[in-house]
Chains A and B, each alone.
Chain A
């Protein structure tokens, strides 16, 4: 096995001047002054407005689609249906920007042809002079459906004889993990605990619905400016419509929230087709109701844990079954299932293990990527089970966790050895301690404390062979430019690169400009997904900046007649460490380099560790670069009469490796605390026979300011991660334990576990009644 060289090692003694500090993010002012530009804000002369017709049947044959009345409407420029599409007839929805192998059936029709498989499937596109005409045109498209039987439950879909949604069967993906000797493990167990946990659909509900603008420019290049997490989609757009890759340019604007929902291609390919057909710039901004249909929500999971434990709380055997509802197309379901499988044992070491996981196709909304990517669902079951085990054994649940925590050097589910720090215990202990004393119960409220730990990967699956490029250069006046096609989806992705570069080159952050998100002119950085942006692009940027630093210092070393190691850079000066009076301004240093023909810029590529996949029979192999560990604790008050749950405190404690921008890290923890609370308590996409019942923001309820508990972020730094300065990925990890901690707190408060999310007042009352009746 390859030993992974931690990039942290090389900079272990570097004195950090900017990294880790809560500096003002470079993107803050423009957002606060209202000058930041989002894709829907762009306009061009002659721009048309697009609109999309989504199916209102979940499972039906498309007998006839007649667009003639729409086309005849004044102001309509083009109407496209499947009949007008290029022969490829599909768009790749596999891992975006990926260069490795593809999984089966991940090509999805751009527009439904002959058949619709889910309620909301796109059928036709319109481009018109303005939005009103485009909307009117949609109403003039006549569709004749012939309803087919649909399947709306993954277990029905897997039953023999079920109608096939797509492909050869309804199994979108499945995994097996076989480790140790499970029979022996169960034989050694003093107790066996079995429970089934279920989770619901969760909608990303980013505040900015999908938006993009596309046009063909004077060089016959198809340009798309979009709200996307992935500029590498330009390749998928090009492939889908039969253009060479170098004729599609995709630029990502500031993204008004992504959370995975703008990871797989959403509207870009539609706009590309309309721009080509109309030869005009075309913009689409999805109304909220159609936004709900345009990406893919979090997969509902059913998760059964059968755990053998010894009397002292050690897990001796664990058998896990995971079933997810993929909906009507595969999208990223196979990968999400893999994440769930690897995350199924949480941050615990289990030597005797069976996991069987399957993702089934149904006629529901196709589910896709969402912060946590399967891991958080799997983790919820795992952490709920910990509580149930502890209850059975009469032990403190933290004690049970301690008996089983995975440690650095242990093998995880897939046999991968964990090399970075595992500070689960420290994090959980601190988070719980920060909850403080319990307020006393009243006649009608019960207070509960809950904690949950997790293990969440950062960085892509190893066989994606991930890499990121970044360019750093110093201008003649000493200002600095970073070029990276990283997308900025709100977590401070571009700002972090400025901070890292500022650190390395000793320039204030506001002297660094980051050009980001342009698939044509900034070096490709890969996606802002999988908690990889900082890890990958941070490393690439740091490598590039370090090389520039080296070049600059070598010139200055010659100038002063000292060694490079005797020099440092700070406040746009290069100085001799032991004699700081002897210094030279960065801009003069740049001139020196220029005169000597030394590169003042560098293009670097960072490669993540790779592997060739897992053994299909045992599930063993290296899947991820590394993992983040931490914990979340919650204090809740449950009204035992109405079943209402109020979260009082919500504390996240995470080993982030190294915070690059402390404030940004805390912001991630705080945001995920509330998003996780929504998942635990009030968010739920309800589908009835495949039809969405909660398709707007008055029915789909995300937490408001009135729902905010006391939130705290505790940031621990082991500096053991694979990211720059030892950072670990945090965007998804900090979210992973939140819902579980709240579910556990509710169980603690009322004495019964609710196995089905979300924990509505109604379910609380039901659980309390059942508890009463079994007394």
Chain B
């Protein structure tokens, strides 16, 4: 049972932004985070703005240089998009292990990002693709990197009057591998214990770009930048990969919880980063052969 709350149903983006600007209110997208939270809280109150009717926030556009994903894109939309497997392989791998089909049909990309949870599965793949976010308010739009958007545990750079309206990134170039792995306490429909996304670009046998994004091992999803730096400039060897994996584990600041201890999480980061980098090196390298 949900406690009483108020729900506004704007018909246009402008109307929604106006509502956000003038009344203390919270956007409601798929509701898969908000509604369980409300139910758990049990107390009446709050004003929500339904994004259901805002067609502007739907749709995925692909061009050669950019993928633009509306904020109301659901996890199912990602799975159904025929171009997504090349535009964001890690995002597709992620969507396959995200919740179950009903929640995938409701849960939105924006909701996942804006909720600011460290275990948000959409975030590591997008971070590993250097995604950018476009936020809109009645005052105008701004674009910032996803990396800059994530501040702390359930804290983001979003101002209360802003809506996330789209996410964009450059699709991986040839010679790029983009992988994701979710470690959970069961295989289906589980909260992530450790989530890892990596992007590796190989040119002429050397790694020219590396991204390592980690979920559930710090107050927010974050990039292990020191580990990334350890990889760029040369070929990936067992040694460089090992160094990077170690650095990623060290950069993690996990906690003990009911799912796993901090110790184990750090260990798993080490192992999974090593594994994904090794695999990425092989796949990215093979694209050039």
Contact = CB atoms under 8 A, between A and B. Distances in A.
> When A and B assemble into the complex, do they touch directly, with CB atoms less than 8 Å apart?
yes
Contacts of B190: 701
A698 interface: yes
Interface string B265-278: 00110011011000
A703 B271 CA distance: 25
Contact of B260 (A131, A705, A762): A762
B115 interface: no
4 A-B pairs with the lowest CB-CB distances in the bound complex, closest first? A706-B188, A704-B188, A641-B271, A706-B187
A644 B193 CA distance: 12
Given A131-B1, A686-B258, A704 B268 contact: no
A729 to B, nearest CB: 30
A643 B1 CA distance: 39
A358 to B, nearest CB: 29
Nearest to B267: A765
B272 A642 contact: yes
A761 B1 contact: no
A707 B187 CA distance: 6
14 contacts: A641-B272, A641-B275, A642-B271, A643-B264, A694-B258, A701-B185, A703-B188, A704-B187, A706-B187, A707-B186, A761-B264, A761-B268, A762-B264, A765-B264
Contact of A706 (B189, B261, B264): B189
A629 to B, nearest CB: 31
Contacts, number: 58
A621 to B, nearest CB: 43
Given A642-B268, A644-B183, A707-B187, 10 more contacts: A131-B1, A646-B187, A681-B186, A686-B258, A699-B258, A701-B186, A703-B188, A704-B100, A762-B260, A762-B261
A761 B258 contact: no
A139 B189 contact: no
Contacts of B268: 642-643, 761
A664 B236 CA distance: 55
Contact of B183 (A686, A694, A705, A761): A761
Contacts of B187: 646, 704, 706-707
Nearest to A758: B185
A110 to B, nearest CB: 25
Nearest to B261: A762
Contacts of B100: 704
Interface string A686-720: 10000001100011010111110000000000000
Contact of A642 (B183, B258, B261): B183
A450 to B, nearest CB: 20
A99 B42 CA distance: 44
A762 B183 CA distance: 12
B282 to A, nearest CB: 13
B262 to A, nearest CB: 11
B123 to A, nearest CB: 19
Contacts of B258: 686, 693-694, 699
A701 B275 CA distance: 27
Contact of B42 (A131, A135, A706): A135
Contacts of B193: 761
Interface in B169-215: 183, 185-191, 193
Helix, strand, loop or mixed for chain B's interface? loop
Interface residues of B, number: 22
Contacts of A68: none
B189 A704 contact: yes
B42 A705 contact: no
Interface in B243-288: 258, 260-261, 264, 267-268, 271-272, 274-275
A699 B1 CA distance: 19
Given A444-B275, A641-B275, A761-B264, A682 B185 contact: yes
Of listed A132, A646, A701, residue having the most chain B CB within 10 A: A701
A760 interface: yes
Given A644-B183, A686-B258, A762-B264, A707 B275 contact: no
Contacts of A646: 187
Contacts of B186: 681-682, 701, 703-704, 706-707
Contacts of A693: 258
Contacts of A139: 42
Nearest to B270: A641
Contacts of A761: 183, 185, 193, 260, 264, 268
A705 B271 contact: no
Contacts of A762: 260-261, 264
Contacts of B275: 444, 641
A707 B190 CA distance: 11
B53 to A, nearest CB: 27
A765 B185 CA distance: 14
B11 to A, nearest CB: 30
A287 B268 CA distance: 35
B40 to A, nearest CB: 9
Contacts of B191: 698
A642 B1 CA distance: 39
Given A761-B183, A762-B264, A707 B42 contact: no
Interface string A627-666: 0000000000000011110100000000000000000000
A761 B267 CA distance: 11
B1 A705 contact: no
